[in-house]
Amino acid sequence: MDLAFLVRPLAGAAGPAAALALGSFVAAMVTAGEDDLDTSPLATASSALLLVALFGIAGTAMAALARMREGGRGIGGVAVAVVGTVLVAGGTWTALFVMPALAAEAPEVLDGELAGIVVGYVASYLVFTVGWVWTGVALTRAGIVPRWLGVLVAVGGVLAFVPSPEPVRLLVIGVAASLLARHLTAPATTRTPEPAVV
């Protein structure tokens, strides 16, 4: 089965899902307020949409991995991006399934010091950022993607580490992943070769 057949629809949903997640999060902030955000159905919908976006981002990473291997290029950056995406998706899974249950059944747990969870989120996003910046640079240097797209991927990786609500952090990389997947999975005859950057 062709990789493009699997990746294109999934990765194509990353940008729209991230945008919808941001809209749902903003609506949750307006309607529920910050105190009831963990139990808001709109916040839960935002987390579910972010998980869809992260599946798309992971699909894009797999497509990038395949193209780098196909070209005989190093895959270190893309491998780190895959690991970082899986780590961030784990945190989003927690926000979707664990946090609402804790907020409803044991809110005192969420009121306590959760330093370990914060360190885990920061570490996950650090790996995610390093992987996607490295991937954007590597794809551009290899001439696999146009320079603007490689820069967008790298910038999306950097913005994912900026302290802000998760839907804001993942919006640019979600859009970049959708565009990148479209480029990576295009038929070989329609791809525009880019000169390699040395």
pLDDT at 108: 64
Cβ-contact 15, 55 below 8 angstroms: no
pLDDT at 67: 86
Mind listing the pLDDT tens digit for each residue in 126-173?
A: 999 999 999 999 999 999 999 999 999 999 999 999 999 889 999 999
Mind listing the pLDDT tens digit for each residue in 44-94?
A: 899 899 999 999 999 999 889 888 888 788 888 999 999 999 999 988 887
pLDDT above 90 covers what percent of the chain?
Answer: 46
Average confidence (pLDDT) over 116-127: 84
DSSP output for the chain = --HHHHHHHHHHTHHHHHHHHHHHHHHHHHHHTTTTGGG-HHHHHHHHHHHHHHHHHHHHHHHHHHHHHHTT---HHHHHHHHHHHHHHHHHHIIIIIHHHHHHH-HHHHHS--HHHHHHHHHHHHHHHHHHHHHHHHHHHTTSS-HHHHHHHHHHHHHTTSSS-HHHHHHHHHHHHHHHHHHHTS-GGG----PPP-
Is position 196 within any domain?
Answer: no
**pLDDT level of residue 1 (50, 70, 90 thresholds):** very low
The pair of structure tokens assigned to 90 is 């784990």
- Per-residue pLDDT at 190 exceeds 60: no
Is position 197 within any domain?
Answer: no
Is position 53 within any domain?
Answer: yes
Structural domain tally of the chain? Answer: 1
- Tell me the whole-structure pTM to 2 decimals: 0.82
Is position 198 within any domain?
Answer: no
Residue-number span of the structural domain to which 137 is assigned = 3-190
